[in-house]
């Protein structure tokens, strides 16, 4: 691996290039367009008016999704905090080609309960009224009726239409395409560098990179433009499956790398099965939640987890349980790896590089998640917000460039060096013999050394007798 031949200066230069490229991506995102477009209208509340007719702004394919939220405005509160149930009835119509409004056939009057929570300090929290995940028409009309709202506590209601910014959608398409091309080039170069070596001679990092790089191609999603070309929820589901699969494979890689670097005997039942169960459970939960939300939202745009809170909370709880098990297991493997291999110079170098790079990804991802959702992850519109993915262009480019640059850096460091194929040189020189040995060879040599020592000790005992 090139990692063994890097000097300290080159080692530092690798990280400088990584953070420089990441910083440039973040700066481009900071100067980029906003991720969404918001249009607000305010309506007065009277004793006889609890029904409102709202028309959405003009939408295009690049608008992708539409959210309608309601904010109750009030200047008088009887208590410090107000929390009550509201019945929200919604009727959805769409404008056809002849400019007439027609009620959508698959949608009846949609009725759900929403929690109204207000306080003197923060006012009333927004209520998610409608979320349309796939836009089939350019204009929508909503008839919203609120039941259970007291006029004495509500002066007016502000309705906000929110959709993706078409400029951001164009930027996302181009940057995904750029990362897709770069990933394809890196994958071909990495495969070309390893073509001279047998798979048996690959290290655990090289074997996993040969899996992660093709999955990164799917993460960048070569069929992403179909979201704007096809009026279907299938491309959205495919994109989510690609992203969830890559992230799950990355989590599985960390477990296998820290465990496999100190163990050459990797049987399926003992080595892979426990890891696949933990990561696979989180993958299944993530896919289930997204598909469930998309399917329900297709026939009920007012759907959120409050409709079926029991199942949602159960899935989130199970996800957190497996997430905690994953963190504990990973921490255990990291500690064991450093404890057992820190005295070996080359193994210690592999551990240090892999750990530093992994910590960079984990820390930045945690910061993005906290900035996105705050400390409280579960909230009323959490599932619907999952489909927006990011809050701004900087967040989008930070996360995408982080994962892509992470694998590009590993592909460069873990690719074979220029002189790696000169077997005669490495085998004749005991100083470099370890650089090109596979982990299986190292494990078999250890067993042979143990047998030799046992045999020699037996001969010595017989001579003494």
CA 436/CA 422 separation, integer angstroms: 10
Q: Which residues make Cβ contacts (< 8 Å) with residue 72, sequence separation at least 6?
A: 116, 118, 124, 127, 149, 153, 154, 157
Give strand pairing partners of 413: none
Beta carbons of 246 and 258 less than 8 angstroms apart: no
* pLDDT tens-digit profile, the chain (465 residues): 788 888 888 888 999 999 999 999 999 999 989 888 888 888 877 665 678 888 888 888 888 888 888 888 876 655 566 777 778 888 888 887 666 677 665 556 677 777 777 777 777 778 888 888 888 888 888 888 887 776 556 778 888 998 889 999 999 999 999 999 999 999 999 999 888 888 887 888 888 999 999 999 999 999 999 988 888 888 888 988 999 999 999 999 999 888 887 776 677 778 888 999 999 999 998 888 878 777 777 777 777 655 555 677 788 888 899 999 999 999 999 898 888 877 777 777 888 888 889 998 888 888 877 776 554 443 433 433 433 456 788 888 988 899 999 999 999 998 887 766 554 333 333 333 344 444 444 444 444 444 444 334 444 444 444
Full-model pTM: 0.80
Q: Indicate the SS3 state at residue 58.
A: coil
Residue 33 main-chain phi, psi, to 5 deg: -75, 165
Beta carbons of 297 and 131 less than 8 angstroms apart: yes
Alpha helices in 262-344 (DSSP H): 273-299, 309-341
Token duo for residue 182: 């770069």
End-to-end Cα spacing for the chain: 50
């Amino acid at each position: 691996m090139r990692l063994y031949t890097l000097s300290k200066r080159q080692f530092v230069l690798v990280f400088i290039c990584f953070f420089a490229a990441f910083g440039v991506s973040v700066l481009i995102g900071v100067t980029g367009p906003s991720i969404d477009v918001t249009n607000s209208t305010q309506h007065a509340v009277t004793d006889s008016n609890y029904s409102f007719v709202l028309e959405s702004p003009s939408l295009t394919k690049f608008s992708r999704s539409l959210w309608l939220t309601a904010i109750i405005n009030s200047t008088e509160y009887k208590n410090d905090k107000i929390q009550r149930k509201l019945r929200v009835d919604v009727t959805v119509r769409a404008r056809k080609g002849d400019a007439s409004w027609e009620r959508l056939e698959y949608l009846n009057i949609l009725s759900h309960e929403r929690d109204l929570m207000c306080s003197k300090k923060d006012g009333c929290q927004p209520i998610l009224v409608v979320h349309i995940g796939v836009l089939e028409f350019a204009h929508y009309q909503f008839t919203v009726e609120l039941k259970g709202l007291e006029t004495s506590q509500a002066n007016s209601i502000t309705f906000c239409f929110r959709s993706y910014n078409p400029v951001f959608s164009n930027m996302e398409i181009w940057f995904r395409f750029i990362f897709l091309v770069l990933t394809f080039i890196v994958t071909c170069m990495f495969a070309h560098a390893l073509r001279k070596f047998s798979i048996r001679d690959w290290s655990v990092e090289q074997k996993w990179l040969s899996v992660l790089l093709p999955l990164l191609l799917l993460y960048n999603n070569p069929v992403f433009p179909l979201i704007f070309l096809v009026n279907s929820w299938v491309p959205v589901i495919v994109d989510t499956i690609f992203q969830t699969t890559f992230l799950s494979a990355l989590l599985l890689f960390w477990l296998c790398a820290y465990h496999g670097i100190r163990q050459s005997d990797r049987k399926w039942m003992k080595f892979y099965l426990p890891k696949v169960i933990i990561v696979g459970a989180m993958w299944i939960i993530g896919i289930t939640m997204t598909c469930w939300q998309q399917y329900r939202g297709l026939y009920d745009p007012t759907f959120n987890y409050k409709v079926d809170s029991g199942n949602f909370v159960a899935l989130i709880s199970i996800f957190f349980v497996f997430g905690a098990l994953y963190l504990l297991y990973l921490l255990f493997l990291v500690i064991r790896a450093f404890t057992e291999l820190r005295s070996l110079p080359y193994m210690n170098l592999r551990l240090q590089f892999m750990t530093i790079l992994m910590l960079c990804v984990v820390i930045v991802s945690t910061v993005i998640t906290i900035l996105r959702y705050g400390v409280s992850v579960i909230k009323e519109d959490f599932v619907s917000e999952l489909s927006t993915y990011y809050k701004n262009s900087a967040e989008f480019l930070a996360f995408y460039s982080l994962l892509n640059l992470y694998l590009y850096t590993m592909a460069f460091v873990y690719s074979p060096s220029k002189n790696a194929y000169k077997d005669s040189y490495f085998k004749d020189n005991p100083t470099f013999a370890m650089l090109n040995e596979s982990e299986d060879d190292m494990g078999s040599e250890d067993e042979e050394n143990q047998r030799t020592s046992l045999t020699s000790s037996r001969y010595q005992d017989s001579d003494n007798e």
